[in-house]
Amino acid sequence: MRSLDIGALGMQAQSTNVDVTSHNIANMTTTGYKRQRAEFQDLLYQDLRRAGSPSSDTGTIVPTGVQVGLGVKTAAIGRYMGQGTLSLTENELDMAIQGRGYFQIDLPSGETAYTRDGTLKLDAAGQLVTKDGFAVQPGITVPANATSVTINSSGEVYAEIDGQVALQNLGQIQLATFINPAGLDALGDNLFLETEASGNANTGVPGAVGFGSVQQGYLESSNVNVVQEITNLIKAQRAYEMNSKSISTTDEMMSAVSNLR
C-alpha cells in the first residue's frame, strides 16, 4: 500500500515546515533577518492507465487515464526579502538601509559578505567594523579626536573634530544589489555570500537609481510577521496530524487483511 510511504513523506515535509517556521519565530528580533518559507512539490506519478492511449482498435483513446501520486517533497526554502520596519536607536554608528541594497563586509578569508545588519562599531584603530570585528567596505577610519560622526542618506561619513569648524569627510559607504537576492547563500551571523543563483554584485552609492538610502541612528527589524507564523505552525501541525492519521488508517486496513481467515 502506497499510503504508508505517502503518509511518511507528508509527515517529513510538515516537519520541515515546522522547522522553517520555528526558525522564523526564533529570529523575530534579529536585525535585518528575512523570513523563510518552505516550498513543496508533488512527487512522480505512477501511470496505471496512460491518458491518450488507445482503448480500442477503432481509434478511441483514453481521455483521462489513471495516475496515482507518490507523495510530496521539499523543493526549496525560499527567502522573502521584503523591507523590515526601521527602529530608532539613536546610536550614531547604527545604519539601516531604506530600500534595496546590502552593506559589504570583508571576511577574514578574503571573501566579501553582504548584510542588512547595520549595527556597526569602532575597533581599536577606529575602523568601522561589524559586531564580529569584520571591516566594512570601503574601509572608513574615525580619528581618535573625533567628537561625533555624521552619516548622510548618500552614505557619506563625516566626523566632527575637536577644535575644527568644518566637518572632515571620512569616506563613502557603498551598497551592493543583486538580480536575485533570494539566491544568496546564508552564512549565519546575518551574513550572505554571492552565488551563481544570486548573480554578481552590482555596487553603487546609496540613493542612486536602484539603490536604497542610508538612515543613521536606525536599524532594520526582522520582517517576520508573528501572527502569520503562528498560523503557519497551526496549519503544519494539522497537516502533520492528518498524514499521521493516514498511516494509522493504512495500518488498520493491513491488519484487517492479515486477520482474514
Q: What is the pLDDT of residues 230-239, one digit of tens each?
A: 999 999 999 9
- Once rounded to an integer, what is the mean pLDDT over residues 35-48? 91
pLDDT digits (tens, 9 = 90+) for 181-225: 999 999 999 999 999 999 999 999 999 999 999 999 999 999 999
Q: What per-residue confidence (pLDDT) applies to 21?
A: 96
Distance of CA 7 to the CA centre of its chain: 29
Q: What per-residue confidence (pLDDT) applies to 151?
A: 93
Cell of 128: 568601522
- Do 122 and 128 contact (CB within 8 A), yes or no? yes
Q: What per-residue confidence (pLDDT) applies to 11?
A: 94
- Once rounded to an integer, what is the mean pLDDT over residues 45-67? 86
Is residue 45 scored above 90 in pLDDT? no
Strand partners, 54: 61
Q: What per-residue confidence (pLDDT) applies to 58?
A: 85
Q: What per-residue confidence (pLDDT) applies to 259?
A: 84
For residues 158 and 237, what is the distance between their CA atoms, to the nearest angstrom?
53
pLDDT band at 165 (very low <50, low <70, confident <90, very high): confident
Is residue 261 scored above 80 in pLDDT? no
